[in-house]
Amino acid sequence: MFEIFELNIIKRAFIVISFIAPLAPIFGVFLLLRRYAFFADTLAHVGFLAIALSIFFKINSLILLIFLSIMVAISVEQLRSRDRLPAEGSLSFFLYAGVALSVVFITFAENTGSIMSILFGSLSTVTNEDVYLIIATALVCLSFLFKYHKKLLNLCIDEEIAHACGINTTVVKMLFAIAVALSISISIKTMGALLIGALMIIPPLTAMQFCKTLRNTVILSVIFSLLSSYAGIFLSYYSGIPLGAAISTVLIFFFLVSLIFKVFK
């Protein structure tokens, strides 16, 4: 069993997951509080486009992931704040545009690689260079959460009251959108474009079945995320299931257990 720890791809997977797994559900909690969970799916599909572009132009996919995700996050927040498009409308546009253009670029790429890895994650897609960039970006996101978590909470409870209390809600919303984009972009290679939302949303939903306070919900969602991610690495390695799908399967198991617990509590 322990021979897998001798493999470099497994070591990289554990390092990357140790930074991604705690980060994703924390942002997921705030997305759920803002009723904005669809935002994660939109950025994930934009990430699919970034990987397709990187294959087509033969450039570093993670850098392009980060850049394109930030640009779309800023665009969505600008359109939403200026009431030029309904929030759902702008998200839907970028989601479908991301998928459609991804298919176009992948169709004309010389080497498409593994579509399964792009969509559902892989143990082998993260390079040594990616690890350093992922760690640095994760630390930036954690710093943002540490500095702005109280303002974010006030914003989620009532945006008008937060603004009346002197919080620059426009700036906080924009920074939050960028931070979410960063957290998703560094997670796509392991979780896949279609399943990164699961790591952000399912752990908080599971934790909510057990907890009544926000603090406990965040803590328990991080624990569920870490346990599911580590178990998913083993499941992926020994079964051949894509990493994102393996992690999501464990997440679903924990969620179903939490529902049963709540029913019989």
Do you know the residue count of the chain? 265
Q: Where are the domains of the chain?
A: 2-264
* pLDDT per residue as tens digits for the range 244-260: 899 999 999 999 999 98
DSSP of 96-163, one letter per residue?
A: HHHHHHHHHHHHH-S----HHHHHH--SSS--HHHHHHHHHHHHHHHHHHHHHHHHHHHHHH-HHHHH
Q: Report the pLDDT averaged over residues 102-119.
A: 73
Contact 28, 204 (CB under 8 A): yes
As a three-state string, the secondary structure of 207-239 is HHCCCCCHHHHHHHHHHHHHHHHHHHHHHHHHH
Distance CA 168, CA 213 (A): 26
Interacting residues of 101 by C-beta distance below 8 A, sequence separation 6+: 49, 52
pLDDT at 2: 62
Reference 191, options 10, 54, 20; nearest CA is: 20
Bigger pLDDT: 40 vs 141: 141
Token readout for 183 is 């957290």
Examine the pLDDT at 125 and tell me if it is beyond 70. Answer: yes
Bigger pLDDT: 49 vs 206: 206
pTM: 0.88
Residue located via tokens 């752990």: 203
Q: Report the pLDDT averaged over residues 64-91.
A: 79
pLDDT at 83: 65
* pLDDT per residue as tens digits for the range 186-201: 888 888 877 888 899 9
Ranking 82-86, 129-133, 160-164 by mean pLDDT, the lowest is 82-86
Q: Report the pLDDT averaged over residues 62-83.
A: 83
pLDDT at 86: 65
Q: Report the pLDDT averaged over residues 131-136.
A: 90
DSSP state for residue 1 in the 8-state scheme: -
Spelled out in words, what is the top-level CATH class assigned to the domain 2-264?
Answer: mainly alpha
Q: Report the pLDDT averaged over residues 230-236.
A: 91
